[in-house]
Homo-oligomer: A and B are copies of this chain.
Amino acid sequence: MNAQTPDPSKPGLAIGIDIGGTKVAAGVVDEHGAVLAEQRRRTPGRDPRAVEATIVELVSELGKDHQIDSVGIGAAGWMDLSGGTVLFSPHLAWRNEPLRENLERLLRRPVMLTNDADAAAWAEWKFGKARGESRLVCITLGTGIGGAMVMDGRLERGRFGVAGEFGHQVIMPGGHRCECGNRGCWEQYASGNALGREARELARANSPVAQELLRVVDGEIDSITGTVVTELAQQGDPASIELIEDIGSWLGLGLANLAAALDPGMFVVGGGLCGAGELLLTPTRRAFKRNLTGRGFRPAARIELAELGSSAGLIGAADLSRSPRTS
């Protein structure tokens, strides 16, 4: 989509790969953050070996037409501080997985491994919406909620490398069970998964407002996903618009919580759910203002949509693979 005429002799090219709960995106990225070639796949189930095989395949295909200096992976999991091991992934099957070592053996070259949300935040800070922001918080709304911080131009990864898991802050004690094992996590209320679940429940309740949702999936309620709802909302379906407003209310509340704790200058919101655009952003900003502690007596962070869209993760992973380590 973002492909430009490839220039095999161009120096400083890197492959970035973004592994999410549902999609794998890979691209060849130049030193200015431009994507010269891009490929996407569905995440091949939860088997770690299948995910590795997909990565190897993508690197091999993208490497055919380009001279690649380095490879960077942003993965939907919690990395240890050394960037070698995926400690845990709520949405994939990694548990203490030595992913970097496995990939370096398979690819026969050094690999930079980082969290997918860190990669996306890095791209937005370096090439996208948040250039120059000294205190940036990024939220990636996909299957769940990814989170990352860039402070004074450095990714803030915490003491053990797993900072930024904002999606697993409990926002509703005793609430919905989360893939992380706990209950009431923020991402159970503000994510693509949450949007799909709420829509399916509405459809199952056989509510008269859910007619359009039921129609587009021919009554197959299990086929209603966040993407289906987002598309219907953009076509003007009132129930789908309301469902996205609900997500925005929870998103804004959670951002107000993060502002209380972190006081950033800007929030950048990216990920698949951002396809909803203003349908999501307007209720989010409203709930943020409504819930910001000290409102009226403090400057408030801006809330902006990501500029690099669904390519942010791969762009950031590619860039981090060529930079000296930044945190």
A contact set with B: CB distance below 8 Å: 78, 87-88, 90, 95-96, 134-135, 147, 151, 156-166, 168-173, 178, 180-182, 185, 253, 256-258, 260-265, 291, 293-295, 297-299, 301
Given that A162-B294, A162-B298 are known contacts, is A171 also in contact with B168, CB under 8 Å in the complex?
Answer: no
The residues of B that contact A299 with a CB separation of less than 8 Å are: 159-160
Bound: A181/B165 CA distance, A = 27
B88 touches A180 (CB 8 A): no
Given that A134-B159, A151-B156 are known contacts, is A297 also in contact with B78, CB under 8 Å in the complex?
Answer: yes
Name the residue on B nearest A189 (C-beta): B173
Bound: A163/B257 CA distance, A = 11
Given that A87-B298, A253-B173, A298-B88 are known contacts, is A263 also in contact with B162, CB under 8 Å in the complex?
Answer: yes
Interface centre among A135, A160, A165, A294, by most chain B C-beta atoms within 10 angstroms, is A294
B294 touches A78 (CB 8 A): yes
Interface centre among A156, A169, A171, by most chain B C-beta atoms within 10 angstroms, is A169
Name the residue on B nearest A178 (C-beta): B293
Tally of this chain's copies: 2
21 contacts between A and B (CB under 8 A): A78-B297, A78-B298, A87-B294, A88-B294, A96-B297, A134-B159, A147-B261, A159-B263, A160-B298, A161-B263, A163-B263, A164-B261, A165-B293, A169-B257, A170-B171, A170-B256, A170-B291, A171-B173, A172-B172, A185-B293, A261-B261
The residues of B that contact A151 with a CB separation of less than 8 Å are: 151, 156
Given that A159-B135, A159-B301, A182-B293 are known contacts, is A169 also in contact with B261, CB under 8 Å in the complex?
Answer: yes
Name the residue on B nearest A183 (C-beta): B291
A253 touches B163 (CB 8 A): no
Bound: A314/B325 CA distance, A = 38
A258 touches B261 (CB 8 A): yes
Given that A78-B297, A87-B298, A298-B78 are known contacts, is A262 also in contact with B172, CB under 8 Å in the complex?
Answer: no
